[in-house]
Structure 1
Amino acid sequence: MQVDFGKAAGDYAQHRVGFPEAFFQRLFDEGLARTGELALDLGTGTGVVARGLALRGCAVTGLDPSEALLAQAAELDRAVGVQVRQVHARVEDAEFPDASFDLVTAGQCWHWFDRPRAAALARRWLRPGGRLVIAHFDWLPLEGNLVHATEELIRAHNPAWTLGKGNGLYPAWLTDVREAGFRDVRTFSFDVDVPYSHLGWRGRIRASAGVGASMAPAAVERFDAELAALLSDRYPAEPMAVPHCVWVLSAVAPG
């Protein structure tokens, strides 16, 4: 399955709500992020994590291979009055001076990287004692719920999509950072319900890897029409409370 989130940049910027306030609050409360730090946000996309850090006083660089997503990020940054330095490149091809950041973040993107190389590069770019934060904000498919039904519909339209049936946890990422030499590896998670209207959920799903980022436009339209009918028939009440899990891994660069 070929995935290009730039194809769904408009829906991505409008309908992917991004990490909740409680995520950023916990990062700063626990000292994983600190005001005034130099931060690098890998796979920044439309800049949700980068913008959240910049709003709290960090000097942030956002790195992404999609020019379309970076353009959306710049517009959203201007709307809230922050400036994030943008670098257009794949993580694996990026070049930054060694020990040039206090914090490296990766929100909802670690699975798209060459993970061992990304971990090694993050360690190289971090100053001694700097922190790597890998985070996910995933919907939760539970038997009979809206997410479960939506995932079934995605698979019916796009059998190549294999990213569903998740539980929001990523234990393999711990091995990635340990093998790269990071220490003080920790994780935490919490669940949160996100309210979505029918239109909002349809936009969120069009912006996903299995739909707008990988299907042809006509196929996306057919899928969207079926999802609209499913929502109207089975989940008519709005807003819909969609269960999500926030999962965070933090690790410290040695030295």
Structure 2
Amino acid sequence: MGSAEVRFKELRADFGKTAEDYGRHRAGFPDEFFERLASMGIVRAGMRALDLGTGTGTIARGLALRGCEVTALDRSEPLMEQARELDREAGVVVNYVVAAAEETGLPAASFDVVTAGQCWHWFDRPRAAAEARRLLKPGGRLVIGHFDWIPIPGNMVDATEKLIEKHNPKWKLGGGVGIYPQWMAGLAQAGFKNLETFSFDIDAIYTHEAWRGRIRASAGVGASLTPEAVAAFDDELRAMLNDRFAEDPMRVPHRVFAAIGTAP
């Protein structure tokens, strides 16, 4: 298998380098995300589900906990090892496959739902959308999900993003609003029908220690900087939190977003 490195503009990142922090400290998609999908009839027990770019399995595990038969794939074996450990703790079993989202090697028309959480921007999106359509049964759904922190001028997230940019100028993922209307054009071009979206806001609770771990597990820090640079960043983040954002644990604003298309 080739490198698990992913690229976005000038940034190159390998989340396998930060798998332990990723597994321990990245808040997974909240229950409300899965409840919304269930209320829309997109997820229900007995469905065959595939999670692309699964990472540490946050969506795959959520689907398995709701009775789906889940296959999950990623190019990073270290991340999926973390996923298996978290699955054991949760009491579920997921079938993990080392493969690329654009070329899974899985049989056509074999899934009721295909999901991609927090990873669509890393893919060759036209190829990934075409592959998802190939894998879905007629009437099956593709769900592109995001669960993003939300920077507001002056808040702790905004200050953290400025610190990442200071230590890694190649990181260009800051300033987001957590909503991705551009994904809809790609779904339409791939032939998906009945396109729809939803979004809602929720606070994720992080201790100072957990937030530092979460940021070490981000593309701009642990996945792309040297260990020495990560340590220097972490020291500065710790000092900043102690000096400017003393609340511990902290309520960190996040936005859940989903773009959904139906395979014809």
TM over 0.5, yes or no? Answer: yes
Tell me, yes or no, if structure 1 residue 127 matches structure 2 residue 137: yes
Counterpart-to-counterpart distance in 1, 2:180 and 2:68: 27
Find 1:225's aligned residue among 227, 231, 235: 235
Find 1:39's aligned residue among 49, 55, 77: 49
Counterparts of 1:1-255 in structure 2, within 5 Å, are 1-254=11-264
Counterpart-to-counterpart distance in 2, 1:132 and 1:189: 16
Alignment check: 8 A CA contact 1:32 1:250 kept: no
User: Which consecutive residues of structure 2, in runs of 5 or more, have no partner in the other structure?
Assistant: 1-10
Letter of the 1:108 counterpart: Q
Alignment check: 8 A CA contact 2:52 2:114 kept: yes
Q: How big is the alpha-carbon RMSD for the aligned residues of Structure 1 and Structure 2?
A: 0.6
Letter of the 2:83 counterpart: A
Alignment check: 8 A CA contact 2:103 2:131 kept: no
1:44-65 deviations in Å (ceiling 9; x for gaps): 0000000000010000000100
Counterpart-to-counterpart distance in 1, 2:247 and 2:108: 52
1:127 Cα deviation from its structure 2 partner: 0.3
Q: Secondary structure at the match of 1:209?
A: coil
Consecutive aligned runs of 4 or more in structure 1 exceeding 6 Å deviation = none
Between the two proteins, the alignment pairs up a number of residues equal to 254
TM-score, L = length of structure 2: 0.95
Counterpart-to-counterpart distance in 2, 1:23 and 1:54: 14
1:93 Cα deviation from its structure 2 partner: 2.8
1:163-201 deviations in Å (ceiling 9; x for gaps): 111000101100110000000000010011111110010
Counterpart-to-counterpart distance in 2, 1:134 and 1:91: 13
**Percent of aligned pairs with the same amino acid:** 62
Q: Secondary structure at the match of 1:166?
A: coil
User: Which consecutive residues of structure 1, in runs of 5 or more, have no partner in the other structure?
Assistant: none
Letter of the 2:239 counterpart: A
